[in-house]
Amino acid sequence: MVINTTEGVQALKDSYDIRHTALVMKTPYSTTIAGARASAMAIEKIKTGALEVNPLQSYSN
Q: Where are the domains of the chain?
A: 2-49
| Mean pLDDT on 44-54 | 85
Cα–Cα distance for residue pair 41/5, rounded to 1 Å: 19
Cα–Cα distance for residue pair 14/30, rounded to 1 Å: 14
* 29 phi and psi angles, rounded to 5 deg: -140, 140
In this predicted structure, what is the pLDDT of residue 24?
A: 96
Cα–Cα distance for residue pair 61/59, rounded to 1 Å: 7
Cα–Cα distance for residue pair 57/24, rounded to 1 Å: 33
Return the SS3 of 30.
strand
Model-level pTM? 0.61
* pLDDT at residue 54 tops 90: no
